[in-house]
Structure formats: structure tokens, C-alpha cells
């Protein structure tokens, strides 16, 4: 059976029998709070009806400043000038991630059924039985969160070079594409085992100066920083602490600043006027992706329109179905994610920690 773990086993040391005790039930349980997983597609630019292997057309910019030389105002002929459109393409890679979960409601012991306020199933369809709804809602909620978590994991940490990890080796994610592409790359160097907030800030400043001084895309309105919660929260603590300390004497603390509401927080954070889109999902998906340590300090500076998410449907990245099979007398919960991501233009700055 795909459902692992039984509540009765977990509390065996506390009560001899849930049937006789008849008090340890779901409506008395306290659930550990979890982080609500954000919508992956809404956090990026979604491209629908994409096929695996399809070429994404890219219209590149032209030389707008080297045309139209001075003319002879006494001559009827004008200067001969050419326009050569500049095109390119990049191939989409889409991969499918799926699971089937089988649940036999008849396999649960009486203690488990008591906990969930359920009774032994006979020939009834559990999906149509009201007393099973709380348990099925609980399982459905877990699966839906797994679907969202999969999107974030493969979207950022996908890496076809990781041939031994089938959780991420379907297609390259944003970080792998940024590393392989020809965008600007900046190493986040650190003296200690982890970069300090000051070292991160200095690197962000270097990225900002490159984007605004060396490129044309650096002044676009949809420019964003994409970073993990770990990186953003470290910067928030640094900025708020800096506001508490006098700029003239670091040993002198401003008491008014300490008791005042924090001026910086992760939500609404901006660096050099560019909004920071902080995604805790990047941190939480690291372990499943086989990443650790300073991998959490990878940062992207790019236009949001240059961070594409592709799927073959017209409106969503995932599929979900729950049904009862009368022959096997099991509930089947099927889930599927089919997507790929792309950075079509080399218009980005990619920050990664040396040795991560």
C-alpha cells in the first residue's frame, strides 16, 4: 500500500487501545504548521501549448545607433542603408514527473479508523462516503502540495547532468541554464564558510552596476532579483542592524532605531530600486535536489519576461485525479507535472558561491 504510517502505531506508548480509550481522534489533533507553497507559474512568465523539442523563436535587437550617415543636401540620392533582421531560436525541453498512490481503505485497523472518525468499509465507494471525507481531504492536500513542490524543484534545480537523481535530471532548470549560458556570471566569494551579508551586498552591487552600465536590458521595468529566503533574510537582518548603528561610531547604538518598526523585511524588499522576489520554495526543495550548503546563495538578476515556464496545455502545468476502482476496491490518486523552463536570452546576471 502506498500510504505509509499508522497513527495508532505512533501513539501506542500513550494508550493501550484507541478503541477502548475512544478519545484520541482527528478532531482533537494538533497539526504542525507548514509553509504554504506558492504558485510556480504565476511567479514567472508562462508559455502554454509548448511541445518538447519545439523551437522558441527569438527576435534579437539590431544596431539602432550606427545607421543614417550624414547626407548631401544638394544631391537627390539618399544614402543606401540596409536592415537585416536578427533572429535566433532556443529549443524547449519538457519532462514529465508523475506518481500513482494506491489506498485500500479496508486495510486500516480499528484504531486508525477511530482516529479519523471512520468505520470499516464494505462495498461502498469511499469517495461517496461522508465519514471518509476528512481523511481523503488530508491526503489530497498532501498530494497537491507535492505537485507544487515538484514544480519549484525542477524549475530551479533541474540538471540533466545529475544522471543519478531522477528528481531533477529530466531537463535543466533556471540555475543550470544560467550556468551554461552566456549571460554575466559573478562569483560570490567569502572569507568564511558562508558568505556574510556584506559580501552578498557587494556582489549584488556589482551585478547591478553591470546590468545598468553595460547592458540595455538592465533598465527594463520588469527587472527582478530571484533569490532564496536564506539569502534575503540574511540581507534583511543586515540592513535593519545597520540602521540601528550610528554611522559615526559602530559602538554607539541608536535606541530609537532598535524599538522602531523594522524598516526592511523580506516582503517588499528592493535592492537598488529592483524588487526582490524571494522564494522559500528554492530553499525547501534543495534537499530533494541533492543540493546543500551555499547552494542557497545562488541569485539571478533578470527580466521576468526572460524567465519562461512552458507546458503543453493551455492553462496549467499539472494533472490530478482521484478515483475508486470497484475491482481492486482501492482508491487511486494520480498526479502529474509536465513542464520545462527556459532563459531564452543571455540577458541576466547569475551569482553563485564559489565551491558550492
Q: What is the DSSP string of 48-98?
A: -SPPTT-EEEEEE---SSS------TT-SPPPP-----EEEEEE---EEEE
Phi and psi at 352, nearest 5°, equal -140, 150
Q: Is residue 73 part of a domain?
A: no
Q: Which residues pair with 115 in a beta bridge?
A: none
What's the pLDDT score for residue 175? 97
Q: Which residue has the cell 554611522?
A: 247
Q: Is residue 16 part of a domain?
A: no
Cα–Cα distance, 178 to 79 (Å, whole number):
42
Count structural domains, the chain. 1
* DSSP summary character for residue 226: E
Domain range for 243 = 36-42+92-353
- Exposure on the CB side of residue 120, measured as CA atoms within 13 A: 5
| 250's grid cell | 559602530
pLDDT by residue (tens digit) across 204-249? Answer: 999 999 999 999 899 999 999 999 999 999 999 888 877 544 444 4
Cα–Cα distance, 44 to 38 (Å, whole number):
11
Q: Is residue 48 part of a domain?
A: no
What's the pLDDT score for residue 261? 47
Q: Is residue 61 part of a domain?
A: no
What's the pLDDT score for residue 178? 97
What's the pLDDT score for residue 248? 43
Low pLDDT (below 70) residues in the chain = 1-36, 60-63, 243-263, 354-356
Cα–Cα distance, 3 to 129 (Å, whole number):
19
Q: Is residue 284 part of a domain?
A: yes
Q: Is residue 310 part of a domain?
A: yes
Residue 186's contacts (CB-CB under 8 Å, 6 or more residues apart) are: 203, 206, 207, 210, 349, 350, 351
Q: What's the gap between Cα 23 and its chain centre? A: 41
What's the pLDDT score for residue 20? 57
Element at 112 (helix H, strand E): helix 110-115
Q: Which of 305, 289, 353, 323 is nearest to 47 (CA)?
A: 305
What's the pLDDT score for residue 5? 56
Cα–Cα distance, 165 to 155 (Å, whole number):
15
Q: Which residues pair with 102 in a beta bridge?
A: 332
Q: Is residue 62 part of a domain?
A: no
How many secondary structure helices (H) and strands (E) does the chain include? 9, 13
Phi and psi at 350, nearest 5°, equal -110, 120
Q: Is residue 24 part of a domain?
A: no
Cα–Cα distance, 184 to 203 (Å, whole number):
12
What's the pLDDT score for residue 119? 81
- DSSP letters, 171-183, are S--HHHHHHHSSS
Amino acid at each position: 500500500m502506498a500510504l505509509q504510517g499508522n497513527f495508532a502505531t505512533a501513539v501506542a506508548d500513550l494508550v493501550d487501545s484507541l478503541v477502548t480509550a475512544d478519545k484520541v481522534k482527528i478532531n482533537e489533533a494538533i497539526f504542525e504548521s507548514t509553509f504554504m507553497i506558492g504558485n510556480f507559474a504565476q511567479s514567472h512568465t508562462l508559455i502554454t501549448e509548448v511541445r518538447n523539442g519545439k523551437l522558441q523563436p527569438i527576435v534579437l535587437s539590431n544596431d539602432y545607433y550606427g545607421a543614417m550617415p550624414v547626407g548631401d543636401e544638394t544631391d537627390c540620392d539618399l544614402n543606401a542603408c540596409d536592415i537585416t533582421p536578427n533572429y535566433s531560436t532556443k529549443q524547449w525541453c519538457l519532462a514529465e514527473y508523475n506518481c500513482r498512490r494506491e489506498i485500500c481503505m479496508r486495510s486500516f485497523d480499528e484504531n486508525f479508523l477511530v482516529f479519523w472518525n471512520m468505520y470499516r468499509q464494505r462495498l461502498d465507494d469511499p469517495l461517496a462516503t461522508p465519514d471518509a471525507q476528512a481523511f481523503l481531504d488530508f491526503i489530497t492536500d498532501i498530494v497537491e502540495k507535492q505537485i507544487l513542490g515538484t514544480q519549484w524543484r525542477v524549475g530551479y534545480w533541474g540538471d540533466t547532468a545529475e544522471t543519478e537523481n531522477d528528481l531533477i535530471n529530466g531537463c535543466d532548470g533556471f540555475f543550470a541554464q544560467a550556468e551554461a549560458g552566456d549571460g554575466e556570471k559573478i562569483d560570490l566569494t567569502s572569507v568564511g564558510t558562508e558568505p556574510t551579508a556584506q559580501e552578498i551586498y557587494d556582489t549584488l552591487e556589482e551585478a547591478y552596476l553591470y546590468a545598468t552600465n553595460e547592458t540595455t536590458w538592465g533598465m527594463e521595468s520588469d527587472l527582478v532579483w530571484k533569490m532564496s529566503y536564506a539569502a534575503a533574510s540574511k540581507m534583511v537582518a543586515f540592513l535593519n542592524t545597520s540602521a540601528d548603528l550610528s554611522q559615526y561610531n559602530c559602538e554607539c547604538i541608536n535606541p530609537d532605531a532598535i524599538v522602531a518598526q523594522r524598516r526592511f523585511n523580506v516582503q517588499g524588499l528592493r535592492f537598488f530600486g529592483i524588487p526582490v522576489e524571494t522564494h522559500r520554495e528554492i530553499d525547501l526543495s534543495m534537499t530533494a535536489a541533492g543540493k546543500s550548503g551555499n547552494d542557497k546563495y545562488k541569485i539571478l538578476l533578470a527580466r521576468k519576461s526572460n524567465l519562461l515556464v512552458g507546458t503543453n496545455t493551455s492553462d496549467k502545468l499539472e494533472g490530478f485525479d482521484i478515483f475508486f476502482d470497484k475491482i481492486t476496491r482501492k482508491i487511486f490518486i494520480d498526479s502529474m507535472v509536465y513542464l520545462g523552463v527556459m532563459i531564452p536570452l543571455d540577458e541576466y546576471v547569475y551569482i553563485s558561491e564559489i565551491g558550492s
